Structure 1
Amino acid sequence: MKPMDTRLAKLARKGDQRAFAEIVSLYKDKLFHLAYRMTGNRQEAEDVVQDTFLRVFKNLERYDENQKFSTWIYRIATNLCIDRLRKRRSVYSLDAESSDHEGLDGYAMLPSDDRTPESELLLSETQRVIHQAMETLPAKYKSVMVLRYLQDMSLQEISEVLDMPVTTIKTRVHRGREFLRKKLENKL
């Protein structure tokens, strides 16, 4: 039996508007979270989500039902984010020197149960520094790091979403963490 989202895509392809609305309902929050983490901008994230659903609607006939629907829709959203980041980078070329750095892994900074006002302040400052470092990542690393650590995807799933070999994904995750470490070693 095919997964629910694949069945919905098949129905939407035949013109069932309720099926497409259900797809939107299933994925809008997940895609927004992904886009917001990649772009760091609420309006851009909303635009990416809207553009993703427009592309999905226009290209439903191209969807291969033998492929996971989630992989297909995440690929569309991720590519739209990467396109926006590339366009943004050319506009802000003054930052080009620092764009060779990258970073992430906020999960390592989660607080313990014994929170104090001091530890909360330190945590929020640490998270702010990590998010700033994340913003400096080149798009090719940022997409992999967001999918890996914030969307909690496996290397295989990321490979499918980005249509790249797993070995390339592993390399980019490793380099992303290295850049983050270098970027953060003097700030934390």
Structure 2
Amino acid sequence: MLLGINELEEIMERHTERLIRLAFYYVRDLQSAEDIVQDVFIKFYDNQHNYEERGELKAYLSKLVINKSKDYLRSWTYRKIQVQQKIFAKKAIIRRDMLVQQDEQTLIENAILELPLKQREVIIHFYFEEMSVVDIAELLRIPVSTVKTRLRRGRELLKPKLQHIEWEVLLHE
């Protein structure tokens, strides 16, 4: 079944904000995250015949965004931007828009953004996407034990950064 423009617009309305947030957690740049999500929707529309409705569309789109984000992080463009930021912008101001809220939420998200990618992605999927450990393992194609280890290590890395904040995730450890 091929989607029409109206169905695509409905899918975009339902998933865009969440997918931009997901891409942002990977690439740490709002403009790049928006570009990645736009590219994913274009790719999804152009190649919709490859999508089989066996699984959930949310998971399928998330996987496309994750793969596109990882491709971006490996790209020459990303490395060039990193070098430019180090040279020209020691005190870069990051535009947060509506993706990142105020006060403690901003501190928590900034601490998560500083985590290494492997720990950051499982923390994001587990707490923000509310995925189970098994679902994360399937999505990332890694063993369940690896997901658990990365979650534990991610929490350990967050604790010192967030010790003055009562984030319930760290209180119950």
Indicate the TM-score class for this superposition, using the shorter chain for normalisation.
0.5 to 0.7
In the aligned structure 2, how far is the partner of 1:147 from the partner of 1:19?
A: 26
Q: Which residue of 144, 157, 162 corresponds with 2:140? A: 162
The two structures have a TM-score, normalised by structure 1, of: 0.63
Determine if contact 2:25/2:113 at 8 Å carries over to the other structure.
Answer: no
* Equivalent residue, structure 2, for 1:148: 126
* AA matched with 2:61: I
Confirm or deny that 1:174 pairs with 2:152.
yes
SS of the counterpart of 2:53? Answer: coil
Q: Which residue of 23, 33, 36 corresponds with 2:24? A: 36
* Equivalent residue, structure 2, for 1:20: 8
Q: CA deviation at 1:75?
A: 0.5
Pick the structure with greater CA Rg. Answer: 1
The two structures have a TM-score, normalised by structure 2, of: 0.68
Unaligned runs of 5+ in 2: 87-101, 166-173
Aligned length: 147
Q: 1:89 to 1:145 in 2, by over 3 A?
A: farther
Q: 1:127 to 1:18 in 2, by over 3 A?
A: closer
In the aligned structure 1, how far is the partner of 2:136 from the partner of 2:80?
A: 26
* AA matched with 1:165: P
Unaligned runs of 5+ in 1: 1-9, 96-122
Determine if contact 1:11/1:19 at 8 Å carries over to the other structure.
Answer: no
Determine if contact 1:86/1:139 at 8 Å carries over to the other structure.
Answer: no
Q: CA deviation at 1:46?
A: 0.9
Confirm or deny that 1:71 pairs with 2:89.
no
SS of the counterpart of 1:65? Answer: coil
* AA matched with 2:156: E
In the aligned structure 2, how far is the partner of 1:86 from the partner of 1:46?
A: 18
